[in-house]
C-alpha cells in the first residue's frame, strides 16, 4: 500500500473536483490509470485509495 500523504490526497481531491467532467469513466481504476498516465498521480496509489478521494471530492 502506498504512503498517500495528506497533501497529495488534498491535491488529488482538488484535481478530481475540477476535472471530473473530463474523465472517460466513473470507475476508480480507469480514473487512476488516466491520472497516472498524465503524471498527476503516482502509480503506487491504489484504486481503493482513489475511491476515497473521489468520494471526498464529490462531497465538497
pLDDT band for position 60 (50/70/90)? Answer: confident
How far apart CA 42 and CA 21 sit, in angstroms, is 21
Percent of the chain with pLDDT over 90: 80
Q: What is the pLDDT of residues 28-43, one digit of tens each?
A: 999 999 999 999 999 9
Compute the average pLDDT of residues 5-17.
94
Instruction: Please check the confidence at residue 20 and state whether its pLDDT lies above 60.
Output: yes
The pTM for the full model equals 0.85
Residue 60 per-residue DSSP state: -
At residue 24, the pLDDT reads: 85
Q: Give pLDDT, residue 11.
A: 95
Using alpha carbons only, give the angle 33, 13, 34 rounded to the nearest 5 degrees: 15
| DSSP string computed for 1-49 | -----HHHHHHHHHHHHHHGGG-S-S-HHHHHHHHHHHTSS-TTS-HHH
Amino acid at each position: 500500500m502506498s504512503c498517500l500523504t495528506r497533501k497529495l490526497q488534498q491535491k488529488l481531491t482538488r484535481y478530481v473536483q475540477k476535472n471530473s467532467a473530463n474523465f472517460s469513466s466513473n470507475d476508480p481504476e480507469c480514473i487512476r490509470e488516466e491520472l497516472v498516465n498524465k503524471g498527476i498521480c503516482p502509480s503506487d496509489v491504489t484504486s481503493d485509495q482513489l475511491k476515497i478521494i473521489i468520494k471526498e471530492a464529490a462531497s465538497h
